[in-house]
Amino acid sequence: MSNSSVRPASVGPYRAVLFDIGGVVVGSPFQGIADFEVQHNLPVNYLNVAITRAGHNGAFQRLERGEVDLWSFYDAFSDQLSDPRNVAAYAKYAELRSKDFDEKSFKAPKVDGRALFHQMMSKAAVVNPCMVEAIAALRKAGYTVAALTNNFNYPSDERGQQEQDLILKETADSFLTTATTTTGTKGSGAIVMGQDQLKTLFDHFIESAILGLRKPDPAIYKKAAEIVGFKSEEIVFLDDIGANLKAAQNEGWTTIRVLLGKPRQAIEQLESTLGITLLAPESRL
């Protein structure tokens, strides 16, 4: 759905800017994990270690490749996060970082995968307004702008729609004074946006769940370059995960890391890279 042919050509060596979604354009699911750990008295990063331990065939990884439906994922995610073997994995993690952790006295928690996932997605439903402004400015300047995201798709039936609406309502109840469904709602400085509306910000929305590939698999970067239609040296990519950025660098892309809670800093780096201004003065306050 590219509009690049009807916009002025971009200047300089770069022609396309690609954005990760979670932790970049919207809030970070990692913040939802961190909040869940605090609420359930779990050690810091315990759940991230559990997710990583599962490797390529973990529940979350399979969901993002479109290999399981959401309902099957919830069951598998709960089982994975509740696995007693996570305790030993976390003990090794803690030892490498010189963190205190008593493996013998710590009992593996029973984790509700659906509840955690809701909390993660609630964070990822809140848009970073400065990123939306920068994306619009890039498109106006003639750049092709795409999303490159590890994602999942809600089931297309009524139950799936209800699940998405519930997550957005939970988000709205946390940030706003009024609830929302699948349309964007603004209030109290927050914008809650549904997945379909988010897609309208971009020329291309490149999804792991559709391609059956997820970052940092090198194949997804090659496919993304093919979709946007530019050479590797013409692409700038913003992501919040180091492994994803390293894989992009290996493909010859220029990369910018978006640190948690610091989207404006990343935009300033993007402005410097491209040599253009993307944010209005009032957006820098």
Hey, what are 28's tokens?
A: 């970070």
Hey, what are 102's tokens?
A: 């008593």
Cα angle value 99/101/105 (rounded, 5°): 175
254-257 and 235-239: which strand pairing?
parallel
Domains of the chain, start order:
4-28+126-284 (3.40.50.1000), 31-119 (1.10.150.240)
- Specify the DSSP element, H or E, that contains 94: helix 85-96
Q: Which residue has the tokens 């990884």?
A: 61
Q: Which residue has the tokens 């996060």?
A: 81
pLDDT tens, per residue, the chain with 285 residues: 444 444 555 668 999 999 999 999 999 999 999 999 999 999 999 999 999 999 999 999 999 999 999 999 999 999 999 999 999 999 999 999 999 999 999 999 999 999 999 999 999 989 999 999 999 999 999 999 999 999 999 999 999 999 999 998 888 777 643 333 333 444 345 688 877 889 999 999 999 999 999 999 999 999 999 999 999 999 999 999 999 999 999 999 999 999 998 999 999 999 999 999 999 999 887
**pTM confidence score:** 0.88
